[in-house]
A and B are shown apart, each in its own frame.
Chain A
């Protein structure tokens, strides 16, 4: 594939604001402004593609993704997450960079982005780059600058680590295509779950301008897979797949609406990942909800748990919620909640049940379920054996039998189970100071969930 057409001749033209800002501001100041402005994007994942280095440059990627640090908010830091610029011609009400805000503005040059990425990468601070941007001049002009930075990184510096770029809504398909051939992952933010929400809070953005590039990227990926089966050396297009993000709690959609949107995105747009971002109030605006209790983190957490159930546990949104029950139970994780409404399907006999049924037991995660199926090949398992192979029984014990017997005499009865499953820890997860994620993640194989969650994979 020809890549020489990648640097557009006019990329350096104009952008008066950018040029003005660039002078006199140190790299440190720019990094401060442009990472601060990027931090509300929740994704920092470096997963989805396994690529060894070819020995001629720097970098490789790991399918599971690699975290490199954890910030004071407990979130994984995997990528150098920055904006190209926080200049913006749009005025989205929830956004700190909106045109009408009086905030310090800055823009990187493509070379500065390369320098930071390479120097951070060789010290093992990061897995790669996550480049997003406000809109400088026009969507196309901004995308050209992003293309130039990423192109230089890939060719001049022979950088083979992870690159995630955001497609700017409204940019031309040609630019989306060029960028897709350089990036590992692309994302277009849905921003708000419904078109009505978008209209209310992001008047300059249109649902169509978001879904069109999303569709284009999806088709590009499918087509590329076919090319790759024909010619092994065809350049790859967005090999780590596409993701998106929506803001939770800024507009009035129910959990059911949100989960249905997510399910559609997975099924119809083949997204790798949907991120949910609890709304953090940064602007005073009459159209934004007041959030006296801070960002709706518990709600966000429940959505992630449910998202997990869709992707790895074979659940459907319609099994978890309905028009009549549109929101998740605050006290119980969605899987336990589902189990309590389907007590007829329990208890599950560990030595005979199929993998799918074991996976649906509260307290048993994917790894544990796999271990069980593997270990029972060499003989019937007892509760002791389960403990030995690392299955946490605290919650599962109410829902399983080993060789026809329960671990303790317990009742399969809703009230009793609710009392036992909402232990002291999970009951008040958002205590003023005492909140830890660990307390929150009484989901499954806790370790696994907390880790994957923080890793953003």
Chain B
């Protein structure tokens, strides 16, 4: 019995294309598998095929998932695909297969006894939790030119789940959220829609909005390939930044009740790895 392994790109488009191609095979789904990114464990007697991401195919799959399995399941799948775990493609593929074979398809995510659905549920939960942590703990710093800049280093690719929250909240601000691990920037020009830019390719111009700021930091507009690290902003901070970060840090230390000191609880609630990006935890 021949096993097929479809190797897809690590993106929503890549995996959705993979699912489309898997259905095209017209083989029992048990014999077809999706791998994301590089497969390093080649098996004998298995057929490996590369899937080139194809927007048309991906859109069809996305529509089918949304229509047949419902919005909730679609969002879970998107969140699961933001995970860095290599088995996510296979889990999503088999979840779609299982969902489409159910009588009540909209209930697919409740069927946690199915190991693939369970895995999608779990991966989606990791992403949702991490996205929520960033809604809480992300910190903006004001740069010299008034732009608010927030670096982060998430395990899952959460940026698209985080930006809408801030776009609604800070509509009149120019702000940038920077995923320092993936080199992705979300740019929000005041009063306009936000968009993503990949640091590697750069986006030297041509889009309306932020590039009209001559003073836009080089690293953000892609003119310069300095890799910003946490705490090292693309340009100096504004004067107000120093004042308000000191005020907040002072507030942060005063507001705790000494008699109730509880560092264990603090660590449970605020994992250490977020602190390197947080204003109130910066060493002076």
Contacts and interface: CB of A to CB of B under 8 A. Distances in A.
Interface of A: 27-28, 31-32, 35-36, 38-40, 52-53, 55-60, 66-77, 80-81, 116, 119-120, 122-125, 161, 278, 280, 294-295, 297, 371, 374-375, 377-379, 381, 385, 388-389, 435-438, 450-451, 454
Contacts of A28: 246-247, 250
Interface in B223-272: 240, 244-248, 250-266, 268-270
B259 A388 contact: no
28 contacts: A27-B247, A31-B251, A32-B254, A35-B255, A53-B168, A55-B171, A57-B171, A66-B135, A66-B136, A70-B269, A72-B258, A72-B266, A73-B266, A74-B260, A74-B264, A77-B252, A116-B247, A119-B244, A122-B148, A294-B259, A378-B113, A379-B113, A381-B113, A388-B113, A436-B268, A437-B265, A438-B264, A438-B268
Contacts of B219: none
A59 B169 contact: yes
A378 B266 contact: no
Contacts of B75: none
Contact of B148 (A39, A66, A123, A377): A123
B244 A71 contact: no
A123 B252 contact: no
A123 B278 CA distance: 10
B97 interface: no
Nearest to B102: A378
A58 B168 contact: no
Given A123-B140, A437-B262, A71 B256 contact: yes
Q: What are the nearest 10 A-B pairs in CB distance?
A: A74-B265, A436-B264, A71-B256, A437-B265, A74-B262, A73-B260, A72-B256, A70-B269, A70-B270, A73-B256
Nearest to A82: B251
Contacts of A116: 247
Interface in B75-130: 107, 110-113, 118
Contacts of B254: 31-32, 35-36, 39
B279 A72 contact: no
Contacts of B255: 35-36, 38-39, 71, 77, 81
B258 to A, nearest CB: 8
B266 A74 contact: yes
A32 B279 contact: no
B62 interface: no
A73 B138 CA distance: 21
Given A59-B169, A69-B270, 20 more contacts: A36-B254, A53-B171, A57-B172, A67-B136, A69-B252, A69-B280, A71-B252, A72-B256, A72-B262, A73-B265, A73-B266, A74-B262, A80-B251, A122-B173, A124-B139, A125-B248, A375-B112, A378-B107, A385-B112, A437-B262
B188 interface: no
Contacts of A377: 107, 110
Contacts of B247: 27-28, 31, 116, 119-120
B135 A388 contact: no
Contacts of A55: 171, 191
B283 to A, nearest CB: 16
A124 B173 contact: no
B47 interface: no
A58 B168 CA distance: 9
B250 A436 contact: no
A180 B92 CA distance: 49
A28 B142 CA distance: 19
B168 A52 contact: yes
Contacts of B178: none
A80 B257 CA distance: 15
Contact of A72 (B140, B246, B263): B263
B121 to A, nearest CB: 8
Contacts of A53: 168-169, 171
A77 B137 CA distance: 11
Nearest to B249: A125
Given A59-B169, A81-B255, A454 B140 contact: no
B141 interface: yes
Given A77-B255, A116-B247, A375-B113, A123 B266 contact: no
B170 interface: yes
Given A28-B246, A123-B244, A280-B259, A70 B251 contact: no
B57 to A, nearest CB: 30
B15 interface: no
Residue from the set A69, A72, A436 with the largest chain B CB neighbour count within 10 Å: A69
A72 B261 contact: yes
Contacts of A454: 265, 269
Contact of B110 (A56, A374, A437, A450): A374
B19 to A, nearest CB: 23
Contacts of B257: 39-40, 73, 75, 280
Contacts of B142: 123
A69 B137 contact: yes
B186 to A, nearest CB: 14
Contacts of B279: 123, 125
Contacts of A38: 255
A143 to B, nearest CB: 24
A39 B251 CA distance: 10
B150 interface: yes
Residue from the set A55, A378, A379 with the largest chain B CB neighbour count within 10 Å: A378
A66 B138 CA distance: 12
